Structure 1
Amino acid sequence: MNSIISGKKLTLVNIKSFGVKAITSNQKHIVNLLKEMLTA
């Protein structure tokens, strides 16, 4: 049980770190999308 729980925690951390990397690398693209949404 403990190994399964720790495994889930690890995957959550991996997803979070990957999400942060994706956001920082695509920040300009996301900002442009938000601007388009706001002006539309």
Structure 2
Amino acid sequence: MARVTVEDCVDKVPNRFELVMLAAHRAREIASGSPAT
């Protein structure tokens, strides 16, 4: 599994709050049965 740090993610999404919202949304998708990438 790849090691992804917050610093790596902030390069793509500059706002940390938005980053948390994106991560939570993806976690909900995976929990509901969406395939993990």
Using structure 2 for the length normalisation, give the TM-score.
0.51
Say how many residue pairs are matched.
21
Structure 1's consecutive aligned runs of 4 or more residues displaced over 2 angstroms after TM superposition are none
Per-residue CA distance 1:1-40 (angstroms, 9 max, x = gap): xxxxx700000000000000000016xxxxxxxxxxxxxx
- Give the secondary-structure state (helix, strand or coil) at the position aligned to 2:23: helix
Greater Rg, structure 1 or structure 2? 1
> Whose RCO is larger (CA < 8 A, sep 6+)?
2
More helix, by proportion: 1
Using structure 1 for the length normalisation, give the TM-score.
0.47
CA RMSD for the aligned pairs? 1.9
